[in-house]
Amino acid sequence: MSRYTVIIIGSGFGGQCAAIRLKEQGIDDFVLLERREFMGGTWAQNTYPGAAVDVQSPLYSIESEPYDWSQMFAEQAELREYTEHVLAKHGLRDKTLTHSNVEKIQWNGEQQCWDVQVKERGLLQAQFVINASGPLSTSVIPPFPGRESFTGKAFHTNEWDHSYDYKNKRVAIIGSGASAAQIIPAIAPDVAHLHVFQRTPHWVLPRPDYVFKPWQRRLLRNKTVYRLLREIIYWSLESRVIGFKYSEKMLDLVAGRRARQHIKKQISDPQLQKKVTPDFTIGCKRVILSNTLYPTYCRDNVTLHDKHDGIESITAHGIKTTQGNDLELDLIIYSTGYDATDGVISYPVVGKEGVTLADVWADFPRAYLGTAAPGFPNLFIVTGPNTGIGHTSAIFVIEAQMNYILRAINEVRDAGKTVVEVDAGAEERYTQHIHEEMAKTVWQTGGCNSWYKSKSGKVIAMFPGFSFTFRRWTKRFRRHDHHIA
Ligand SMILES: Cc1cc2nc3c(=O)[nH]c(=O)nc-3n(C[C@H](O)[C@H](O)[C@H](O)COP(=O)(O)OP(=O)(O)OC[C@H]3O[C@@H](n4cnc5c(N)ncnc54)[C@H](O)[C@@H]3O)c2cc1C
C-alpha cells in the first residue's frame, strides 16, 4: 500500500493550485487522484457547443500563470489549452493517477492518517488530504416521470456526446441557466426545432467580450501589463459586492435597469419579454452574460416553454407538456445542473470516532474558512461551503484557500507534529458570522430559489462579502483556532 504526505483529490484548477503550491514549498511527496481518464476538471469535461468562461480570462487564471488569451472571455478550447500549459509547466501529469475514483476516505486514528479508498487501486494512505473534487463536477438529472422510456438520444451538458450529430434534429433542452444560455445560441441555427424548457428565467446582461489584437496579445505576455489588467478587472467586478450585500436598491437601479433594457432592446414580442423577465432581484441567481440568447429565443425554430407549459412527463418519443402537447423529439439535452450544495463532496468522508461529514452537515454544510471541519483532522476542502463567489473568479478564492491550507500543513511539519484540527468553537463562531452576514445579501433576500441554497434554506454556496476579505482571512493562520498534536 502506498502512503503519501498529501493526497489531492481532483485535477481541476483546485487540484492544480494545490499541487503547484506544495511543490513551491518543497513538499513533493504527493499524488493527485482523478476519477476521469483525463486531467483538467471543468474545462476538460465541459465540451458542449458554446462553452466559455463568464469571468474575464486575465482574472480567471492562476495568478502566477499569465497567458496571452485570444479574447477577453476565453472559450472552452482555449481554457483547456491553458490547463494543458499549466499541467505541462509544473510536471503535474507525472504526479497524477487518472482512472482513480475515490469512493471513501476514513480517518485512521491509530496511524494518524487518512485511508483513501480508490475504486481502481484499492487503499492508499496520506497524512493530509486536500479535497478538490469540484463544486460543479457531479451532474444531476431530476427524476422526470418516464425519463427511462425515451427512445431517442439524451445526455447531460456535462457529458456532451460529440459522436451524435444534432444538425436538423428535433431537440429539447431542459434548463435555462448558465450552460443552457451558451448552448442555445450555439446550436439553434443548425437544428430543425429547439424547445427550451425554462423553470425560472435568469437575468441576462450584455457580454462585453473583446478579441485581443496580435500586439495586445504580445503585451499580455508582459507580467506587469497582465497584472495591471487583472487588477482593473478585479476591482471593477468587486464593486458589485456593494450592491449584492449593502444595497439591493442600487443593484436594481444600476444592473436591474440595464438588464430590463437588454430585454427591450433584443426582444420586441411583449409575450416573450414577459416570459424572460425574472420576478426576483438581479444577482439573487447567477447573472448570465449573453448578447445572443434573446435573439435566439426570437427565432422561428425556437420555442421557449415557461413554467406554465412545463414538463408533465417524458415519453418514448419526446416530451408531454403540462398544456397537453406531445412534442416529438430526437434529442433531449439535460442542462439541469450539479449536486452543488448538500453533496459538495462526491464521496463519503468518515472522520474521528466514525462520525461522517454527511452527519455533521445534516442541517447544512459548514466549515472554518470553508475549508476545515472539526472532527476531520488534516482534511482540507477546496471550494467548500460558503466559498463561492458569483461576481468574480473562482480561481481567486481557490488560491486564497491555498494560503490557509499550506500554512496549516507547514505549522504541523514545523512543529514536528502530525495532526492539525480546527477547534469546534472556532468553526462555530466562523459559521455564525458567515450566516449573520449572509442575512443581508441579495442571495438570501432577493426572492429567488437558487442552487446557492441548501435544502435547509441557508445560502451555503456563497461567501457573503468581498473576495479580498476572504483572502485576508486566509493569509493569517490563527494558531489558537486549531489543535496541533
Ligand atoms: C460549465 C461551467 C462553467 C463555469 N464557469 C465559470 C466561470 O465562468 N467563472 C468561474 O469563476 N467559475 C466557473 N465555473 C466553476 C468552476 O467549477 C470553477 O471555476 C473551477 O473550475 C473549479 O475548479 P475545481 O478544481 O474546484 O473543480 P473541477 O474543475 O470541477 O475539478 C474537480 C475534479 O475532481 C474530479 N473528481 C470529482 N470527484 C472525484 C472523486 N471521487 N475521485 C477522483 N476525482 C474526482 C473531477 O473529475 C474533476 O476533474 C464553471 C463551472 C462549470 C461546470
| 446 CB near ligand 1 (under 6 Å) | no
- Give the count of beta carbons closer than 10 Å to the beta carbon of residue 255: 19
For the CA atoms of the chain, what is the radius of gyration? 23
pLDDT at 442: 76
In a domain, 212, yes or no: no
Ligand 1 closest atom vs CA 157: 1
3-state secondary structure of 109: coil
> What spacing in Å lies between the alpha carbon of 42 and ligand 1's midpoint?
4
Q: Is 46 in the pocket of ligand 1 (CB under 6 A)?
A: yes
My answer on whether 456 and 384 are in the same domain is: yes
Instruction: Report long-range pairs for 221-230 (Cβ below 8 Å, ≥24 apart).
Output: 221/66, 221/68, 223/66, 226/58, 226/66, 227/66, 229/58, 230/58, 230/59, 230/63
Helix (H, G, I), strand (E, B) or coil at 8: strand
- The residues of the chain scoring below 50 in pLDDT are none
The answer to whether the beta carbons of residues 90 and 20 sit under 8 Å apart is yes
Gap between the Cα atoms of 221 and 209, Å rounded: 20
Do 6 and 124 belong together in one domain? yes
| Residue 70 belongs to a domain | no
The reported pLDDT for the residue numbered 341 is 59
Of 334, 359, 390, which one is at a domain's C-terminal end?
334
208 in any annotated domain: no
**Residue 381, domain CATH:** 3.50.50.60
290 and 173, same structural domain? yes
CA distances from 48 to 51, 160, 182, 355, 405 (A): 6, 6, 9, 39, 33
Q: Is 96 in the pocket of ligand 1 (CB under 6 A)?
A: no
422 lines ligand 1 (CB under 6 A): no
Asked if the structure places residue 375 within a domain, the reply is yes
Last residue of a domain, one of 334, 368, 387: 334
Q: Which atom of ligand 1 is nearest to the CA of 45?
A: 49
Q: Is 312 found in the same domain as 420?
A: no
Contact between residue 105 and residue 117 where contact means Cβ atoms under 8 Å apart: yes
The enclosing H or E element of 349 equals strand 349-350
One domain, residues 353 and 373:
yes
Domain closes at, from 287, 310, 334: 334
* Domain identity same for 477 and 433: yes
Sign of the C-alpha dihedral computed for residues 221, 226, 227 and 230 taken in this order: negative
The answer to whether residues 435 and 399 belong to one domain is: yes
Q: In what order do the strands lie in the sheet with 311-314?
A: 311-314, 318-321, 326-328
Q: Does residue 133's CB lie within 6 angstroms of at least one atom of ligand 1?
A: yes
Question: Domain check: are 277 and 327 in the same one?
Answer: yes
Ligand 1 midpoint to CA 290 (Å): 22
Tell me the CA–centroid distance for residue 329 and ligand 1, in Å: 31
Which amino acid, one-letter code, is at 161?
D
Of 25, 13, 385, the closest CA to residue 5 belongs to: 25
Ligand 1 contact, 41 CB (< 6 A): yes
Is 321 inside a domain boundary?
Answer: yes
Residue 275 lies in a domain: yes
Check pocket membership of 10 for ligand 1, CB cut-off 6 A: yes
In a domain, 219, yes or no: no
Question: How remote is the CA of residue 470 from the centroid of ligand 1, in Å?
Answer: 20
How far does the centroid of ligand 1 lie from the alpha carbon of residue 222, in Å?
Answer: 28
How many folded domains does the chain comprise?
Answer: 2
Residue 227 lies in a domain: no
Determine whether the shortest distance from the Cβ of 58 to ligand 1 is under 6 A: no
Ligand 1 contacts CB of residue 347 (under 6 A) = yes
134 grid coordinates: 469540484
CA atoms within 13 Å, Cβ hemisphere of 21: 24
Does 382 sit in the ligand 1 pocket, CB within 6 Å? yes
Ramachandran angles phi, psi of 9, nearest 5°: -105, 115
Give the end-to-end CA distance of the chain in Å, rounded to a whole number. Answer: 25
Angle between helices 394-414 and 13-24 (to 10 degrees): 40
What's the residue count for the chain?
485
Q: CA 88, CA 82: separation in Å to the nearest integer?
A: 10
Sign of CA dihedral 156, 160, 164, 165: positive
Range of the domain at 344: 2-39+92-138+339-484
Side chain identity at residue 254, one-letter code: V
Ligand 1 pocket test, candidate residues 133, 139, 288, 391, most atoms within 8 A of CB = 133
Answer yes or no: do 101 and 172 share one domain: no
Q: What is the pLDDT of residues 277-305, one digit of tens each?
A: 999 888 888 899 999 999 999 999 999 99
Instruction: Say if residue 325 is in the same domain as residue 396.
Output: no
Cβ proximity of 367 and 388 under 8 Å: no
The residues with which 106 forms a beta bridge, in sequence order, are 115, 350
Q: Which atom of ligand 1 is nearest to the CA of 46?
A: 1
- Is there a single domain that holds both residue 402 and residue 303? no
Q: Is residue 61 within 8 Å of residue 234, measured between CB atoms?
A: no
Q: Are residues 308 and 375 in the same domain?
A: no
Residue type for 404, please? Y
Whether 367 and 385 have beta carbons less than 8 Å apart is answered as yes
Is the CB of 34 inside a 6 Å radius of any atom of ligand 1? yes
Q: Is the CB of 61 under 6 A from ligand 1?
A: no
